Structure 1
């Protein structure tokens, strides 16, 4: 019997049915995602699962006030200002799944944080996205979408120059340092690993689809099935990253989700495809005559362009994120839009008119998909409400266009300052999430800037 109602709408019946169907599972990862998208939580034993579903689980409020290294960021207001008291985490319905290839067998469930009275904890990124989904629902719109996952598979050891190097094929140990873009034969060497990734995704209820060898040595892309529920699309991305990381480790290689692990090659993006459905299930971005764009998609593009600069910290949240933005690198460098054009930031893909959508391309794979989706949806809402004109379409090389586009920050520091002062981003994320996120980023910037790196010694040790 439930001792208290679950504010997440989870039910103990779901847990009871899962335990009955999976008598082999001995433990569960219970996972909450912080502002950096890092999975934090606990591993509980099988006998504890029903209690979790009955009563939730106490977690310290500070779990959402941590930086990338797991250190407290006092400026979030989530540490001693709150006495580091406990809040209560509750399981997310439908996220209780078995994990693949674990010994002993384990399961996983996502959770979200609430106060002790059951109100959503606003610095939880999942709640930030839900705010925007609810706001759109009040306006008669439902967002649908999917993320693309780009990543590197790297050897466990660095090369002689100290840099990361592509992993050898797990099938036969063959090495390649070439850009094997779209090579099907190259994919075969990693098929044992990818078979385990697909198996793990299937167990988690995730439809992982097309596999591509991408535009750098050791780089790959997995696409995900388009969801009519954007929250589920973000969940898919977060879970797939954990699956890829775990299965890569089991095969003796490292899955890397840095935006730019190698300065000589393209970085890894996390493109977000998004469309909008009305109350009748009609895609409001679909034009009556192909190519004659309707007001809804143009205003959505206008809102995304107008808000991109102040939102870039969400899309490029780390020091390394900013190394990805370079001309001719398939990463956008200005808030341009275009059709069937991979040099722009906002792309309308070619294809069936009924599937009309916007591909939002600025975010790196190191970004938090809940915050990315929340910010993109808020940008679309902003454009629709204010009927913002997106300006002329970029045709041809987007790296040579964009002179008249709204300005975006040039580096991480500028992005932090822009985000801090942004009324739009405060509304998009919610005041508490905005304060938490920008405080964490400011603390991480300070950490990086006070670190004496190998670059310092290489440039200055014998020269100044």
Structure 2
């Protein structure tokens, strides 16, 4: 059955749908698109929808980044965006009956547009296909539920529990009762995920006040794994708003509480479906070579793993957020955790990226680093035991400016993303960095306004 036939069946089975939300994912992982009336939906799904190519080169405030080369001086032309198969579904949290579809932009020759983060990942996945390998990928997303944000100047607050209070000094990790406090939210998230075909699995209470984690099941398709991650983030935010709350994937919304990460689990299977990371008596050489590639390229990838000013507040010692390029067996203090529960489940967990990162770009950098390690037969060195932060390893960049400088001249980022996308990404982030440099913070006023 072709995609148009599937779309016709979808709308016949959902006669109440009034509008279609059609969107792409930009450089920061933000959905951007249009509302299409039902009467035009099938035409858009068949022929595509025009959007400015510059939609992929906006800063986090939604402003054009002229230095990226897609807006100023180009005439700001349109590209045609076509639906990603399997992403047409209902939006369950809105009052108006609504459907959604994820789009990918095409270039003038019909190929994927280089500035589409999804196309960046597709290019990396193609490198595995040439070797007869398929990445099997899952993500774990941490986030905070918070009281509704009315103004950027308002302090962020945890939501009240069912009893009307919240003990911010308590960790209460894995608390069942605190899942129950927000059962309407999590029921709504689970229902939306089912409606959209997103393989959401376990939900758990995390370390911070109002912090939770949702795990996605492993899928043998890295592009789908990234699709599921961006769509799950959209679901969580939408359902929270429908319940008079907000949800944030900001890496560190509270300075003294746990940060939010996006942990990536992956293995590789060959054409026979065998897990090539599992050897006869433990992890295979290919797994260790992959780890070597991950560690070798980790520092240069931090501009993607920690893409915002706030991201670096999360990367602090003793908070299960890596600050060194290290690996270990089932060790959560390491940047790369090797898991060997069984042969089929032998895999790598990459623990560096924040929940604020772009899943397509994160997977592209991780998978290509692993692939480079395989090709170069790179030795990862010794595994760490105990607390990684008590031993000497290469430290990861701890500030945004330095991380972007490393990224901008990185030959690995050049090879992974392509020269044009590395330049585009750098331009977007440098514009954001320059904006932050002009903002005077409340802390500076508190420290200096009357004392110096």
TM band (smaller chain): over 0.9
Structure 1 pair 125–185 and aligned structure 2 pair: CA distance change class (3 A):
same
Q: Partner residue of 2:12?
A: 20
Q: Partner residue of 1:92?
A: 84
Residue of structure 2 aligned with 1:40, choices 18, 32, 41 = 32
Residue of structure 2 aligned with 1:395, choices 385, 388, 391 = 385
The CA RMSD measured in Å over matched residues stands at 1.6
CA distance in 1, matches of 2:173, 2:336: 23
CA distance in 1, matches of 2:58, 2:269: 36
Q: Partner residue of 1:424?
A: 412
Residue of structure 2 aligned with 1:436, choices 424, 427, 430 = 424
Compute the displacement of 1:457 (Å): 0.6
Contact 1:259–1:366 (8 Å) recurs in 2:
yes
Q: Partner residue of 2:335?
A: 345
Compute the displacement of 1:363 (Å): 0.2
CA distance in 1, matches of 2:241, 2:164: 15
Residue of structure 2 aligned with 1:261, choices 250, 253, 262 = 253
Compute the displacement of 1:384 (Å): 0.4
Residue of structure 2 aligned with 1:308, choices 282, 298, 304 = 298
Partner SS for 1:338: strand
- Equivalence map 1:275-424=2 (5 Å): 275-290=267-282, 293-401=283-391, 403=392, 405-424=393-412
* TM-score, length of structure 1 as denominator length: 0.94
Contact 1:10–1:53 (8 Å) recurs in 2:
no
* TM-score, length of structure 2 as denominator length: 0.97
Q: Partner residue of 2:182?
A: 190
CA distance in 2, matches of 1:231, 1:157: 32
Contact 2:20–2:37 (8 Å) recurs in 1:
yes
Contact 2:340–2:347 (8 Å) recurs in 1:
no
Q: Partner residue of 1:175?
A: 166
Compute the displacement of 1:165 (Å): 1.6
The answer to whether the aligner puts 1:456 opposite 2:444 as a matched pair is: yes
Partner SS for 2:86: coil
Residue of structure 1 aligned with 2:243, choices 237, 248, 251 = 251
Q: Partner residue of 1:82?
A: 74
CA distance in 2, matches of 1:144, 1:209: 16
Structure 2 runs not aligned, ≥5 long: none
Partner SS for 2:429: helix
Compute the displacement of 1:345 (Å): 0.2
Residue of structure 2 aligned with 1:229, choices 212, 215, 221 = 221
Compute the displacement of 1:282 (Å): 0.8
CA distance in 2, matches of 1:450, 1:191: 42
Partner SS for 1:379: helix
CA distance in 1, matches of 2:333, 2:155: 28
1:344-381 CA-partner distances (Å, limit 9, x unpaired): 00001252232111000000000000000000011011
Q: Partner residue of 1:56?
A: 48
The answer to whether the aligner puts 1:201 opposite 2:193 as a matched pair is: yes
CA distance in 2, matches of 1:431, 1:106: 39
Q: Partner residue of 1:134?
A: 126
Contact 1:32–1:40 (8 Å) recurs in 2:
yes
CA distance in 1, matches of 2:340, 2:177: 27
4+ long deviations beyond 4 Å: none
1:244-274 CA-partner distances (Å, limit 9, x unpaired): 1011011111101100000111100000001
Contact 1:168–1:176 (8 Å) recurs in 2:
no
Residue-pair matches, total: 450
Contact 1:158–1:164 (8 Å) recurs in 2:
no
Q: Partner residue of 2:93?
A: 101
Structure 1 pair 459–234 and aligned structure 2 pair: CA distance change class (3 A):
same
